[in-house]
Amino acid sequence: AHPFRKDDPAAVEKYGKWGFIDNMGNTVLPFEWDYTHGFDGHGRACVSLNRKWGVIDRQGHWIVPLHFRYLHGFDDQGMCAANMTSGAGFIDAKGKIAIPFRYLDTDPFDSFGMAKARIKDAEGTIRTGWIDRSGATVIPFIYDNGSHSEWTRLFKNHELLPVDDMKSFYLIDRKGRVV
């Protein structure tokens, strides 16, 4: 189950499908989704069905139809990291492309307004860098890996970012300087 957020219903799994309940336990949206992150506190829920992702409102109406490979969920500023077969980028609260789908994948924006993204360089090597909410590169795509997931979780919304260059692991600040 996912918690209640503001006036939004909570997401609950039942018999392998996800639906939504009110604070009295009554079903308000049927158990028909393969997965959901739940509502975001602003009346939007990313839902998955048959390996496609879209966004519904509190009444179950489509805000964004099912056509994404994955949606990470909306942040407080209405941006959502999204993946399609053509790449990854960001959509706004209405499903419009906010940052073009030119990355291999992206993480959601952190509290500093930066998102880790990965690209393939001219030699075919996957490189990690960070972008801001306009899509501008703020830390160049020079890292082999933006860190392992356990380090990423530890440093989420922290002033330092864990990175490696396949030889060494180290921390950089939000301007890309090694600390």
> Which residues are CB-contacts of 108 (< 8 A; sequence separation ≥ 6)?
72, 73, 75, 79, 80, 81, 115
- pLDDT confidence of residue 164: 72
- pLDDT confidence of residue 103: 97
- Which of 13-27, 39-53, 158-172 is least confident? 158-172
Confidence of residue 153 (pLDDT cuts 50, 70, 90): low
